[in-house]
């Protein structure tokens, strides 16, 4: 598996699957989630509502992942994962690692070979970037999968630089 880094907007990535830093409700939000629904159009929300009405009546548990159509995005699927909110009182790292592992498991189910990830939990959920980068990179490297390329799409120069350092270390 090749791990690559790109600075930019994840919604423009031409990949088999784009991972959404969603929340348990699956019904949208700000950040990556807002951008995906805005640019992907209403089919994604309709698919999420269907999931809530069927498989996940109580919402998607934190650390798990589920796929929908990518609507109008230049990708085949969106894999929604609910990251943990950062806590100084409790170590929620296993849940953050689980988001990457479960997303790759769903990617395998979809036969996706190129997958774009955002830096899950590092925005509204406040996870420190360097620690999040360690968890992200070490988890995808340790997860057996058919995915050929994991592309981390970082929103700013700072986030990109942190991932670059961690990847090179």
Active site residues per annotation: 33
66 close to 55: Cβ distance less than 8 angstroms: yes
Cβ distance to ligand APR smaller for residue 110 or 124: 124
CB of 83 to ligand APR, least distance (A): 4
Kindly list the residues in this chain that would bind ligand APR in the complex (CB under 6 A).
Answer: 9-11, 21-23, 29-35, 83, 118-125, 153, 155, 159
CB of 161 to ligand APR, least distance (A): 13
**Total number of residues shown for the chain:** 169
**H/E/C letters for each residue in the chain?**
CEEEEEECCHHHCCEEEEEEEECCCCCCCCHHHHHHHHHHCHHHHHHHHHHHHCCCCCCCCCCCEEEEECCCCCEEEEEEEECCCCCCCCCCHHHHHHHHHHHHHHHHHHCCCEEEECCCCCCCCCCCHHHHHHHHHHHHHHCCCCCCEEEEEECCHHHHHHHHHHHHC
Instruction: Tally Cβ neighbours within 10 Å of residue 115.
Output: 30
CB of 152 to ligand APR, least distance (A): 9
Instruction: Tally Cβ neighbours within 10 Å of residue 18.
Output: 30
CB of 12 to ligand APR, least distance (A): 8
Cβ distance to ligand APR smaller for residue 30 or 144: 30
Cβ distance to ligand APR smaller for residue 17 or 159: 159
Cβ distance to ligand APR smaller for residue 80 or 146: 80
């Amino acid at each position: 598996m090749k791990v690559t880094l790109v600075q930019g907007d994840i919604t423009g990535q031409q990949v088999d699957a784009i991972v959404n830093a969603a929340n348990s409700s699956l019904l949208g939000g700000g950040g990556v989630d807002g951008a995906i629904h805005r640019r992907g159009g209403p089919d994604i929300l309709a698919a999420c509502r269907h999931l809530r009405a069927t498989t996940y009546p109580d919402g998607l548990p934190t650390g798990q992942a589920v796929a929908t159509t990518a609507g109008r995005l230049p990708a085949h699927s969106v894999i929604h994962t609910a990251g943990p909110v950062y806590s100084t009182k409790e170590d929620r790292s296993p849940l953050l690692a689980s988001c990457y592992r479960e997303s790759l498991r769903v990617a395998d189910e979809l036969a996706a070979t190129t997958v774009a990830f955002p830096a899950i939990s590092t925005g509204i959920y406040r996870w420190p970037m360097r620690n999040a980068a360690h968890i992200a990179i070490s988890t995808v490297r340790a997860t057996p999968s058919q995915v050929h390329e994991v592309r981390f799409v970082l929103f700013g120069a700072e986030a990109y630089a942190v991932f670059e350092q961690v990847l090179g270390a």
